[in-house]
């Protein structure tokens, strides 16, 4: 939490410091809204702290994020989020400035959603027997928001890049297309989270375009992408498959059956591109694996 505490206004940081240790260790989000109580979500439970976040504190927070140079934030304000050291992402809301019908920037920021990036080294280890058989299988991780999809995907990237000699799994080249700077949590292009030695990252790059750039220039063995679901993603996915590249990616949904109802994903699934589907929930906290299914939708291991 140190990197987050550092950028918070004094009164808010003091509130964070006096929270019980168990609460602090489990914090997932801190929401700051002008003239409203500070909201903290920890281990799936939301609590409002008895303190109203002020407009002057919002300005101070933005100043801290900018490092006293708003020019450096132009692109981040257009995208609606800022990534800080440690890979933590801060979502923004305020007045939208349009140019030719497209978002140009955000001004008069009134809401900040600080999402704590949690790195769980070893989170993917127990699943490797189901995802690796002589080579890595095309894998889709499915789950609602805040179920640990990105955390699991991040650790899979580490495992693939590092390899496991004891299990006769070689280290392979990993390409991460990190459109929202959330998987690798890059600062100035450098990942802030732990990965193995064979990882290349395209930070803040649109997924479809980034996948094509990776295929053409960096020859990854495994391609890692977060939250697919747009039409342009489909062509890039098929291009990667035809190039012999293994795909590991996430998508929003409660189950495999549910995402099959979305036309784009149904088409990809019907082509049997993906060989493994990992279904997540929050039943026992973020990262609860409900089941792992094969390309036909049959459970290969059950965790419910």
Contact assessment for residue 193 and residue 201, using Cβ atoms and an 8 Å cutoff:
no
Predicted pLDDT of residue 43:
86
What span, in angstroms and rounded, lies between the C-alpha atoms of 187 and 193? Answer: 10
Contact assessment for residue 153 and residue 224, using Cβ atoms and an 8 Å cutoff:
yes
pLDDT of 254 higher than 50: yes
Tell me the per-residue pLDDT of 149-195, one tens digit each, with 9 for 90 and over.
Answer: 999 999 999 999 999 988 899 999 999 999 888 898 887 788 878 88
Contact assessment for residue 241 and residue 222, using Cβ atoms and an 8 Å cutoff:
no
Q: Could you give the count of Cα atoms lying within 13 Å of 73 in the half-sphere of its Cβ? A: 22
Domain boundaries, the chain: 2-115, 125-302
- Determine what percent of the chain is predicted with pLDDT higher than 90: 63
Contact assessment for residue 61 and residue 9, using Cβ atoms and an 8 Å cutoff:
yes
Contact assessment for residue 276 and residue 140, using Cβ atoms and an 8 Å cutoff:
yes
CATH of region 125-302: 3.40.50.300
Contact assessment for residue 152 and residue 128, using Cβ atoms and an 8 Å cutoff:
no
CATH topology of domain 2-115: Beta-Lactamase (3.30.450)
Contact assessment for residue 118 and residue 226, using Cβ atoms and an 8 Å cutoff:
no
Report residue 67's pLDDT band, with 50, 70 and 90 as the boundaries.
confident
pLDDT of 286 higher than 80: no
């Amino acid at each position: 939490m140190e990197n987050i505490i550092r950028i918070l206004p004094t009164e808010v940081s003091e509130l964070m410091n006096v929270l019980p240790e168990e609460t602090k260790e489990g914090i997932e989000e801190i929401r700051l809204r002008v003239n409203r109580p500070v909201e903290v979500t920890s281990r799936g439970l939301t609590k409002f702290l008895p303190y109203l976040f002020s407009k002057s504190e919002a300005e101070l927070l933005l100043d801290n994020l900018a490092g006293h140079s708003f020019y450096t934030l132009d692109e981040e304000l257009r995208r609606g989020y800022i990534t800080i050291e440690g890979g933590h992402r801060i979502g923004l809301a305020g007045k939208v400035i349009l140019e030719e019908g497209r978002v140009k920037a955000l001004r008069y920021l009134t809401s900040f959603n600080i999402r704590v990036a949690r790195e769980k080294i070893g989170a993917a280890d127990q699943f490797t027997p189901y995802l690796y058989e002589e080579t890595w299988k095309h894998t889709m991780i499915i789950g609602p928001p805040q179920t640990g999809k990105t955390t699991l995907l991040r650790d899979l990237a580490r495992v693939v890049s590092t390899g496991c000699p004891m299990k006769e799994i070689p280290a392979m080249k990993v390409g991460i297309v990190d459109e929202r700077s959330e998987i690798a949590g890059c600062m100035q292009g450098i990942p802030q989270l732990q990965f193995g030695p064979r990882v290349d990252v395209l930070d803040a790059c649109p997924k479809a375009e980034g996948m094509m750039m990776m295929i053409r220039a960096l020859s990854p063995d495994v391609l890692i992408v977060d939250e697919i679901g747009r039409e342009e993603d489909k062509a890039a996915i098929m291009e990667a498959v035809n190039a012999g590249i293994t795909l590991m990616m996430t998508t929003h949904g409660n189950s495999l059956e549910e995402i099959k109802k979305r036309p784009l994903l149904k088409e990809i699934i019907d082509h049997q591109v993906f060989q493994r589907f990992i279904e997540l929930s929050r039943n026992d906290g973020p990262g609860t694996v409900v089941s792992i299914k094969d390309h036909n939708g049959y459970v290969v291991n059950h965790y419910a």
